[in-house]
Structure 1
Amino acid sequence: MELIDAGIFASPDGKANYSEHLRVPAMSLGTYSIPAGATDPQQPHTEDEIYVVVSGKSSFTSGGRCVTVGPGTTLFVPAHEEHRFHDVTEDLTVLVFFAPAEGSLGTKG
């Protein structure tokens, strides 16, 4: 067993920030923090992702669909799909699960 402290993390520099907490071959887990008003610069990943919103509010666009997200919202994004958090109105903290581990299938894009 491994105990992971994946609590609420604030971005240290006022920009979107990803902090990885766990990496094994089959998956990785991290916290993605986006301050209110900041932009989400991420590009599509080569792995499937699950996002679980822990705190904050924003819009999220993926696969041509836009939804409002807040605490408890859970999103699945298949590998290579364009997606982005935007219109972040409250500091956003999201748990991010990659399967397999982020970057293990090649470069983003």
Structure 2
Amino acid sequence: MSDRLTPEAALAALSQGGEAPFMRVFAHGSLEIEVYRPVGRDLQTPHTRDEVYVVIAGHGEFINGDTRQPFCADEVLFVPAGVEHRFENFSSDFATWVLFYGPEGGEAALCQESE
């Protein structure tokens, strides 16, 4: 991956990287940035840290816990650590940045520790 984090560069690296629908493109401290482009179905499971999606392209439906909502390009979506989530009925051009950050258990775990 080049030192520029552009959608084009990240998606080109992903397409050369093999079968996985995601690739880490940047890491610093607790921040990890991936590019994610599932094909057909989103098979991810809950993650141990908070995450933010920034949709690069496409549209569909996003399931976040008990909530289902439409999404489209340029939208920002947040998922707390441990919450079931996935993309459904997404267009064939769907791709998104994924930003993981903070401690294991998410920032909510920090709030509980300080109480």
Structure in which a larger fraction of residues adopt strand? 1
Q: Percent identity between the aligned chains?
A: 30
Aligned-partner Cα distance in 1 for 2:74–2:20? 20
Q: Distance in 2 between matches of 1:18 and 1:6?
A: 15
RCO higher in structure (CA 8 A, sep ≥6) = 1
The answer to whether the 8 Å contact 1:58/1:90 transfers is no
Contact 1:16–1:41 (Cα < 8 Å) also in 2: no
Unaligned runs of 5+ in 1: none
- Equivalent positions of 1:13-32 (< 5 A) are 17-32=21-36
Q: Quote the Cα distance in structure 1 between the aligned partners of 2:57 and 2:34.
A: 15
TM-score, scaled relative to structure 2: 0.74
- Per the alignment, do residues 70 and 5 of structure 1 end up closer, same or farther by CA in structure 2, a change over 3 Å counting? same
C-alpha separation between the residues in 2 aligned to 1:59 and 1:93? 13
Q: Which runs of 5+ in 2 are unaligned?
A: 106-115
Aligned length: 99
